[in-house]
């Protein structure tokens, strides 16, 4: 029984770490780093970074254009 509780705790920690990693990646991307730059720094492929943000949330965003 103790092993089952430890497994559950480990899964919870891994999920939390994954969430933290996504937030850090999103911060990098929003600060202007490209998906390719982030992927290279982490030693993963650009599509791996893209898959972490379904729906385009991880795409670099441009500043809104000013209306004249």
Each residue of 6-64: pLDDT tens digit? 888 999 999 999 899 888 888 888 999 999 999 888 888 999 888 887 776 656 555 44
Report yes or no on 26 lying in a domain.
yes
Residue 29 lies in a domain: yes
Q: Give a yes or no: residue 35 inside a domain.
A: yes
User: From CA 35, how far away is CA 60, in angstroms rounded?
Assistant: 8
Task: List the Cα angle 11/56/21 in 5-degree steps.
Answer: 30
In a domain, 24, yes or no: yes
Structural domain boundaries, residue 29: 13-51
Residue 49: other Cβ atoms inside 10 A = 21
Number of compact structural domains in the chain = 1
What number of residues does the chain have? 68
Query: Is 17 within the bounds of a domain?
Result: yes
| Cα separation, 59 vs 3, whole angstroms | 40
Alpha-carbon span 24 to 29, nearest angstrom: 9
pTM above 0.85, yes or no: no
Is 27 inside any structural domain? yes
Q: What is the pLDDT of residue 2?
A: 60
Instruction: Kindly state whether residue 63 falls inside one of the protein's structural domains.
Output: no
């Amino acid at each position: 029984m103790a092993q089952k509780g430890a497994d559950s705790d480990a899964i919870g920690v891994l999920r939390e770490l994954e969430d933290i990693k996504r937030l850090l990646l999103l911060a990098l991307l929003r600060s202007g780093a490209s998906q390719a730059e982030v992927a290279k720094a982490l030693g993963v492929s650009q599509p791996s970074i893209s898959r972490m943000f379904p729906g385009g949330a991880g795409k670099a965003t441009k500043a809104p254009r000013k209306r004249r």
